[in-house]
Structure 1
Amino acid sequence: MSEGPVVVITGASSGIGRATAQEHARRGARLVLAARNEDSLETVAEECRALGAEVRVIPTDVSQQSDVHALAVGAVAEFGRIDVWVGNAGVFAYGSFEQLSEAVFRQVIETNLMGQVHGARAVLPYFRRQGSGTLVLVGSLYSRVSSPMISPYVASKFGVLGFAESLRQELRGSGIRVRVVLPATVDTPIYQNAANVTGRHVHPLPPASSPRRVARAIVRAPDTRRTVRFVGRVQTVALLPHRMAPGVYDTAVRLSKERVELRGTDADLTVGTVFEPPSAAGGVTGGWRSVGARIGAAAAVSAIVALLVAGGRLVSRAGQR
């Protein structure tokens, strides 16, 4: 039997979560995989078992506190402890605040933010008992910057970072670590699965990082001293203008949304997978890093980045006066 660390991963049926499960499996972890669809989880579990991992599957809706509590109980019943809890489950919704229904807005918050809160509440008693453990929360670049037409997602990810920082301060000296990974755009199926009431087709802002790159950052997080790690450095150019030149940032992000991320006018209205999971396991990637996808948006993105960089230079010059 493996004596590797026991790792719980939520949102494990596709994208970053599926890549993280595979990466941990390669490193000898004992895995507890959670998502809403059991059949999807079994698909991922078989991949991980083929890599030599011991795996338990526990269907879980992270927006339900009782489900998350049962996930922690099941993990400990199976393996006797939990060493790492990866809070990764998330859903996405496109539309203006006034377009999006209250139900969709609330469910994004319940999944992306309250799912992390439920996870911390469920696992901390076990970490306290052990005197050790790492809580790895997957946020987003949108934990630090904003964007129109995705207000519930931005609100949820800002909340994740604030919650993590407060929790980290409370847990100092306890032996329990809190780590946060903040990916920029990642090539996952979350965009195809998003709720969308804009009537336009969704395209994530390039460049899109590989989910496996994010997975490696998640796997390494418990062993690093850095509490917050960004993945996708190109888009972090937005951080300075967002803080110091908001007018420049607002112009750039509006152009991005109108000319790159939302296209056409004939997209179906959908609630995506906000309320119900996909019927089958999603891929690790969503196909957003293809050559065609990159070329199609390169010019527009270059102009937007140039605008952001110019704003950053203006801020820098103003600070030198």
Structure 2
Amino acid sequence: MRIKNSTVVITGADSGIGRATALRFAKKGARVVLASRDAAALETLAADCRRRGAKALAVQTDVADPEAVEELCESAVGNFGRIDIWVNNAGTGVFGPFLDTPLEDIQRVVDVDLMGVVHGAREALEQMRAQGEGVLINVASMAGIIPQPYTSAYSMSKAAVRALGVSLRSELRLARVKDIHVVTVSPGAVDTPFFDHVANYTGQDTRPIPPTYSPDKIAAAIVNVARSPQRELTVGLIPKAMVAKHKLFPQAVERRMATLTHRKHLKATQPAPPTKGNLDRAAGDDATGRRGRKTGGHGGRTKTMARRLLVIGGAAGVTAFAAFRWRQ
């Protein structure tokens, strides 16, 4: 898909991955349609995109509302005539033991992280079928591949996003549609304001599990996969190695992930009162944040050469073991 002069819709565009993705597409000469709940943050971003020479449209949208997403699609087509790329990026989350997490919070996460993708996919694919081409990109997560404790709503929603992608690709293939592509992108931990505003019922403060990747790294991957679509994309050396290992040793990797989540995601030394975070409201003054306050200053720079070598060595070991098992 050619990026220059293409029309790109991005949900969850006000911060983090969405913001970085919008700026990347704008720099490439795309026409960007920016969606989130925070109108002020969107207007600021739209101005940034225009300064990069792009046409930009801000549309306040709650992706959990199907009528709002329909209006988003209509605005994009009404202003630019078509939709070439749609990025379902909007997401939220809640931390807490399953039985201690309010049911309405679980429902809200599913409404945004899963049904928001469903709403976007329906609008995007209908328009793309009329055009005969397009790329739909759904942002999932490593938590959808290797689910974590204390994030049941988020993990199951992201797993469902991956399953949706498989189903949609199958339907397009059976319908002999060759020029419409559905891509699932699964990042690891990303240095965004997500953890600054997440709902939390664990009684402890939350942090991302290092290493954290920069939003721009994920954005670059999204732009590249829009240009050259593929089925699924896991971003980052360590996430890729974990996925490979999980295929061979699922129980061991899931146990390790549970331990890492308990030890690294939660800070027992920093008690935290129950909070609904930004489930029912926009993040406000921090919505335009490029990165998070809770990443310990990593800023996505934790991928040192030592880690790279460790991951490469681990991946090589996994590959060698897989080859050995295949020969048996």
Q: How does the TM-score come out when normalised to structure 1? A: 0.89
> Which deviates more, 141-150 or 203-212?
141-150
- Structure 2 residue 130 is the aligned partner of structure 1 residue 126: no
| Pairwise CA distance, 1:249 | 2.1
Give 1:200's aligned residue: 204
| Pairwise CA distance, 1:315 | 6.8
Give 2:169's aligned residue: 168
Change (3 A) 1:314 1:145: farther
Q: CA RMSD in A?
A: 2.7
- Structure 2 residue 270 is the aligned partner of structure 1 residue 270: no
Change (3 A) 1:235 1:195: same
Write the deviation string for residues 170-206 of structure 1: whole angstroms up to 9, x where unpaired: 1133221111111111111111111110011111011
CA distance in 1, matches of 2:125, 2:244: 35
Detail structure 1 runs of 4+ shifted over 6 Å in the superposition: 292-295, 317-320
| Pairwise CA distance, 1:254 | 2.4
Alignment partner of 1:171: what SS? helix
- Structure 2 residue 113 is the aligned partner of structure 1 residue 107: no
Alignment partner of 1:264: what SS? strand
CA distance in 1, matches of 2:132, 2:116: 23
Gaps of 5+ in 2: none
| Pairwise CA distance, 1:93 | 1.0
Give 2:68's aligned residue: 67
Gaps of 5+ in 1: none
CA distance in 2, matches of 1:188, 1:216: 15
Give 2:224's aligned residue: 220
Give 2:297's aligned residue: 290
Give 2:14's aligned residue: 13
Amino acid at match of 2:159: F
Write the deviation string for residues 266-291 of structure 1: whole angstroms up to 9, x where unpaired: 11211111121111333121142625
Change (3 A) 1:128 1:318: closer
- 8 Å Cα contact 1:141-1:236 kept in structure 2: no
CA distance in 1, matches of 2:242, 2:166: 21
| Pairwise CA distance, 1:226 | 2.0
| Pairwise CA distance, 1:319 | 6.2
Change (3 A) 1:90 1:69: same
Amino acid at match of 2:126: P
- Structure 2 residue 50 is the aligned partner of structure 1 residue 44: no
Give 1:28's aligned residue: 29
Alignment partner of 2:284: what SS? coil
> Which deviates more, 24-33 or 282-291?
282-291
| Pairwise CA distance, 1:107 | 0.7
CA distance in 1, matches of 2:298, 2:140: 27
- Structure 2 residue 242 is the aligned partner of structure 1 residue 238: yes
Give 2:79's aligned residue: 78
CA distance in 1, matches of 2:319, 2:235: 23
- 8 Å Cα contact 1:37-1:279 kept in structure 2: yes
Taking only the aligned residue pairs, the percentage that are identical comes to: 37
Write the deviation string for residues 56-83 of structure 1: whole angstroms up to 9, x where unpaired: 1110000110110010011111111111
Alignment partner of 1:178: what SS? strand
CA distance in 1, matches of 2:117, 2:11: 10
| Pairwise CA distance, 1:240 | 4.1
- 8 Å Cα contact 2:4-2:28 kept in structure 1: no
Write the deviation string for residues 90-142 of structure 1: whole angstroms up to 9, x where unpaired: 00111111111111101111101111110011122211111111111111112
Amino acid at match of 2:204: R
